[in-house]
A and B are shown apart, each in its own frame.
Chain A
Amino acid sequence: MNLNLIIIITTAVALVAYLVSKVNDKAGAAMTVVGSLFALIAVFLLRDSIGTEITLLYFNFNLTVTGWYFALVMLMAYSMTAFFNPFWMKKLIYPAGYNFLYLLSMAGTLGVFFAKDFITLFVFWETVVWSSAFIIQMGKSRQAAYVYYVISAIGSMATLFAIMFAYGTTGTFVINDAFGGLAAYPGRAIVIFVTFIAAGMAKIGIFPFHVWLPFAHGSAPHTFSPVLSGGLVKMGAFVALLSVTAFPAYKIFGGMASFRGIPLPIYFMMALGAISIVVGTLMAIKQEDAKKLLAYSSVANGGYILIGLLMLDQVGFAGGLMHIVNHAVASAAAFLSIAAVAYRTGTTKMSEMGGMIHRMPITYVVYLIAIISMAGIPPMGGFVSKWLIFQGLADKGLLFIAATAFFGSIGSFLYVFRPLSAVFLGQTFTRDLNKKEVGVFMLFPMVVLTLLSLLTGIFPNIFLRVVTEIQTSLGVLPVTLAENTIVTNNGFLDAFKVFIVFGFGFAIAFVLFIARRKSRRVELMDTYTSAEFIHTRELLHYSHSFYAPFERLYEKAPDTMKLYHKAAVKISEIGNFAEAIFFGIKPARTVLLVMGTVLIGIIAGGVLS
């Protein structure tokens, strides 16, 4: 099996899924499961052929270990989410189109990760953007698709510009050569660097491009959100990676002014990552919709990934790469569990449900493990990658970025706890008292992702070995790994030992707990209410404006989307003004006026010179 075949077969399966869905949409959705699982396994088996190059029509692919790593993460998100697809067919307007685009965008991402030249990269990139834009607009609102598309288009145009400019400068489309040849032109290199990375930042959702994430997630079909956040966002990380490795940013900007060893253009990008951590965290804290909250958390985590990748050093870079896996797994699991809840209750608004743990305990555990990982608490994977990023930052002494990283990491405790307490804990609403756990078919992917979260946390070295390979292939000093230990300049981490000690503590507590007499089970409503009798479950559930005192502190902060709206209004005013002049009541007069002005200008210029 080679890459060409995989891409061709998945595309073919996409077409078949389209046709089958016309007859029976559930069968078509099952095709997406088959197609994505096939791609996952097939790409996994490509491990042996890493380093080879291959051509499909006029697309050139280069099987790098980096691409392989990213592709696996992406396909993992796609294939696990696909298990949810059959259950959502009824809720979609165009089930056939959804199934088709789902697989098509998946095939597209493969092309992006293995692209050898810019043309391949760009074509496949656009395939993904377009197909996902069409999926997003199948959800609640069209505006979401607009925003997504506009932001993506800004990124794409910037990339196209960067590609053309690089081509004009170095005369080749092959990624490594085109960027490698830029060292002689540092001035142009800055422009190319900034414009090229823009597409990646737009995809990761880095400030100021972060606005599309909550919109898209707020309204995309619940089954597509895990893919968006767990997978597609990581495509942006890939571009960011290219812009520091294929584009040897540290080499090219090496001679420029730098801040603690980081050249200013790169530091500026890292600062944007830091800003998105803060903005993402603050916005996530005040969301009332579970999916929007998780979307903003993706913004914050994207910031971590960007900072990690841009450091391009031994430790922080490894952290960034590993965070891609961890965040993909955790956020896909979190989105899936929210989707499972939404499947039963029909809503993702946190104030409209509660106490689902008593109805859906497994979903709860999935969400719990996912957020432990997302918040970077041991013994889950997210901790290891955040630890690496912190160590990298401490090595370099990047104080301000570290401060935001800490803010984001403590802040994440706040926002991940909200759905936990509002959706799963607290009082069960009367409406939901007879709800049941979702079926095995939907539980399976969630449980798999949960186990993956645990695996990344307890044996991170399995994943970090691949990361070291990537680092070696990119010519970076790889992070030092001992048997179970990760060694850095500032100390080492033995994740397995941490897990064992945690287990030890838990065991003692457990023994102590069951040694004492069994407790009396009481009703959830039998709770301390200052001896007041309350009979309405909904009123005993505290979920609205959870952090109200904290939110009050920054409620006056400007909303980016509002600023964009203002800018849009201003621009359209300018447009109207121009329109009024040029297409006013008497266009002929305006034309005369303009021509006259130009004529006078020309004559005046002639006279003056």
Chain B
Amino acid sequence: MVLDKKDTRNIWEKIGDYFSANSIWMKWYCTGCGAIEMPPTMTSRFDMERLGMGPMATPRQADVLLITGYLSTKTLRRVIYSYEQMNSPRYIVGFGSCTINGGIYYDSYATINQLDKYLPVDLYIAGCMPRPEAIMNGFAALIEMIKKGEANGWRHYQENYEWYKKNQLESLGEVIINDEFHE
């Protein structure tokens, strides 16, 4: 995406972004290995509540979707569904090399390699798996981005919806569904 350096937000949007930056509710999609890194980040050792972050139960309530590892095509559908249920402004954080370039599963027939072809990722945290320190650093960076109004993935997704949809369909293929027992 092209980054516009000039700050075009009006005062209300700035205030809004300040609130958004300081109160981030997460919905994590626990695929892959990353889920195990979240509890230490939340509990007393690293305590992410300091940053105003906390877990939420459903995508409707959440602001940021954490993709904690590789995504198989089967789970990608679920992730897209969840993302589309979220209310904007919404952000995506990709964890680990699997979301960046496929990581050690780069040649697997079942996983996707590059998450931002399918969904607008605002921030990647590299590592295999990133440790809580890295995650905390990543979150601090995310907060800065939101504050500055740079985390605009959700706008990008709206504007380039066709492109994302095309990529999504390409990897998912056609699915014929009758009811929840037959896919």
Which residues from chain A sit less than 8 Å from chain B, CB to CB? 520, 526, 528, 531-536, 539
Contact = CB atoms under 8 A, between A and B. Distances in A.
Interface in B131-158: none
A303 B85 CA distance: 48
A569 B183 CA distance: 55
Contact of B183 (A520, A533, A536): A533
Contacts of B177: 533, 535
Contacts of A536: 179-180
A535 B179 CA distance: 5
Contacts of A535: 177-180
Interface residues of B, number: 16
B81 to A, nearest CB: 5
What are the 7 A-B residue pairs with the smallest beta carbon separation, nearest first? A531-B78, A528-B58, A534-B180, A531-B82, A536-B179, A535-B179, A531-B81
Nearest to A522: B85
B85 A528 contact: yes
A426 B94 CA distance: 35
Interface string B163-183: 000000000000001111001
Contacts of B29: 531
B60 interface: yes
Contact of A528 (B60, B79, B179, B183): B60
Contacts of A539: 180
Contacts of B180: 532-536, 539
B76 to A, nearest CB: 11
Interface in B47-82: 58-60, 77-79, 81-82
Nearest to A531: B78
25 contacts: A520-B87, A526-B85, A528-B58, A528-B59, A528-B85, A531-B59, A531-B78, A531-B79, A531-B81, A531-B82, A532-B78, A532-B180, A533-B77, A533-B81, A533-B177, A533-B180, A533-B183, A534-B180, A535-B177, A535-B178, A535-B179, A535-B180, A536-B179, A536-B180, A539-B180
Contacts of B59: 528, 531
A532 B177 CA distance: 13
Contacts of A520: 87
B131 to A, nearest CB: 27
Contacts of B183: 533
A549 B178 CA distance: 33
A536 B181 CA distance: 10
A520 B87 CA distance: 9
Nearest to A536: B179
Contacts of A531: 29, 59, 78-79, 81-82
A226 B60 CA distance: 42
A535 B81 CA distance: 14
Nearest to B175: A533
A87 B180 CA distance: 39
B75 to A, nearest CB: 8
A536 B179 CA distance: 6
A539 to B, nearest CB: 7
Highest count of chain B CB atoms <10 Å: which of A526, A528, A532, A534: A528
Highest count of chain B CB atoms <10 Å: which of A528, A531, A532, A535: A531
Nearest to A526: B85
A30 B182 CA distance: 53
Nearest to B79: A531
Contacts of A526: 85
